[in-house]
Structure 1
Amino acid sequence: MNLRLVIVDDEALVRTGFKVILTATHNMDVVATCDGREAVDTVIHHDPDVVLLDVRMPEVDGLTVLRELRRRSCRARVAMLTTFDTEEYVATALRLGATGFLLKDTDPEQLPEFVRIIASGGLVLANSVGDIFTSGNLWRQGSEEDRRKIGSLSAREREVLALVAEGLTNNEIAIRVHLSPMTIKDHVSAILTKLGSGSRVQAAVLAERTGLSASSPDE
C-alpha cells in the first residue's frame, strides 16, 4: 500500500516543492497540504502515515500542532521541517514524539528514503540536529522519575534501549546483540510499556536524558 503523506508549511512554494518530489516517488501519495491553521483538522481528516510539519509558522506553530495531534492520539509519524535548529525546539519536539528533523533544503534524492525510514518507525535527524541530540546538552535535567523508569528495565532491555536511542532498527539491533528480530520486537514492546512511552522516539529521549549508552547498559 502507498504511504499517505500530509505536508504542513506556511509557504506554498515549500509545500509544492515537497509534494512534487514525493508524489513522483513510487508508493507515496501526498493526500493533502496546508498551513498551520488547518493542520490539525487536515491531519485528523486524512489520517496519513507521515506528516511533514514546519516548526515555525506565523499563526499556529508546529509545536502547537504536534502537541494537539498527540493529545488526540493521532497515529501519524511526524517529522519537523526547519531551516534552523535550536536546542529548545529540538528537545520539545522530540519529547512530544516527533520522529525526525529535516532541513527544508534536504537533498531531493534523499527525501523519499528519509520519509520511508520515518514511516517504518526509524528516527531521522539532519546532521546539525543530530549533533544537538548526541551532545548531551538536552538531557542534563533527567529527573529521579526518569532514572526510576530506567532502573525498572532489565540489563538486556537497557542494552536494547540504548541501541534504539542510536536510531537502530529492530533488525539492526538483532544483528548487534545476536538475537532474532522477533525477540528484539518483544524487548522493545516491554520497554515501551515499562517506560510508559508512546513511541520509540520518546523512549530514546528518556534514554538520552538519563545518560544511558550502548557502551554501558548495566550502569
Structure 2
Amino acid sequence: MTEARVLICDAQELMRSGLRMVVDGQPDLTVVGEAGDGCTAVEQALALRPDLVLMEVRLPQLDGITAAEQIRTALPGTHVLILTMCDRDEYAYAALRAGASGFLVKDAPAAELLVALRSVLRGDKVIAPSVTRRLIDRYVTGAAAPLADARLDVLSDREREVLSLVARGLNNAEIAGKLFLGETTVKTHVARILTKLRLRDRIQAVVMAYESGLVRPGG
C-alpha cells in the first residue's frame, strides 16, 4: 500500500506531536516533516513535496493562509487542509480563496480528522459543519463584497448554466442528466469555466457563483 505523505505545520509542539501520533498510526498515512512557522512550512513543502499539508492559520513569521497559497501555487498537486482552533468565517473564506482543500477546527475528533484527510487526498473538499451555514449566509446577506458581474461575461450561456448547477452541489453525472448532455461534455464545460475564470477548483467556482449573485441558496 502506498502511503500518503503528510506535512504538519503548527506553532505548538504539543499539537504537532498529537497530530503526528494520529496520522502515523494509520497504515495509509505517514508524516514526512513538521514546521512551527509559516516560512518553514513553505520551505519544507518545497523540499519534501508532500501529498497533503496540515496547516494552522496562526503561525509565526508567515500566516497559514499565505503559506497555503504559496504552497498551492508552487505545488498544485499538493493538497492543503487548514486546521485551527477558531472557526471564524473569514478564516474559512480566506482558506478557500487561497486554494486550500478544506477547513477543519482542532476540536474535531481524531476519527473526523482522518476522514477529512482521506477525503482531501481523494480530491474532495471539506468544510467544518459549524462554518458551512454561516459561510453561505454571507453571500445571501451580502456581507461578502460581490465580485463584478462582468467577470462572468467570459462564459457562454451553457457554461453559466453548468456553473449554477455546480454551485448547487450537483456532480458531473447529475448535471449531465439535468441538461441532457454527456458526462464528458460536462467535464469539458467545467474545465473551461475554471480556466476562463482563473479558478483552481470547483469549490472556488462555487464561491464565485454565490459572490457574483449568479445563484443564491434556495433560488
Same fold (TM over 0.5): yes
Distance 2:177 2:108 in 1: 30
1:214 to partner: Cα distance: 7.6
Deviation per CA, 1:80-100: give whole Å up to 9, x if none. 111112233222222111221
Quick one: structure 1 residues 159 and 40, their matched pair in 2 at CA, closer, same or farther if it must change by over 3 Å?
Answer: same
Aligned pairs, number = 215
Single out whichever of 14-23 and 4-13 deviates more from structure 2.
14-23
1:35 to partner: Cα distance: 1.3
| SS, match of residue 18 in structure 1 | helix
1:143 paired residue number: 147
Distance 1:165 1:38 in 2: 35
Which segments of 5 or more consecutive residues in structure 1 lack a partner in the other structure? none
Measured on the aligned residues, the alpha-carbon RMSD in Å equals 2.8
Instruction: Tell whether the 8 Å contact from 2:72 to 2:79 is kept in structure 1 after alignment.
Output: no
2:203 paired residue number: 201
| % identical equivalent positions | 36
Single out whichever of 71-80 and 53-62 deviates more from structure 2.
71-80
1:212 paired residue number: 214
Which of 93, 103, 106 is residue 108 of structure 2 equivalent to?
A: 106
1:81 paired residue number: 83
Structure 1: 4+ residue segments shifted above 6 A: 214-217
Instruction: Tell whether the 8 Å contact from 1:22 to 1:28 is kept in structure 2 after alignment.
Output: yes
Single out whichever of 99-108 and 149-158 deviates more from structure 2.
149-158
2:8 paired residue number: 7
**1:56 maps to amino acid:** R
Distance 2:194 2:35 in 1: 32
TM-score norm. by structure 2 comes to 0.82
Single out whichever of 128-137 and 186-195 deviates more from structure 2.
128-137
Which of 115, 126, 134 is residue 128 of structure 2 equivalent to?
A: 126
TM-score norm. by structure 1 comes to 0.82
Instruction: Tell whether the 8 Å contact from 1:102 to 1:124 is kept in structure 2 after alignment.
Output: yes
1:109 to partner: Cα distance: 1.4
Quick one: structure 1 residues 173 and 141, their matched pair in 2 at CA, closer, same or farther if it must change by over 3 Å?
Answer: same
2:63 paired residue number: 61
Distance 2:15 2:89 in 1: 24
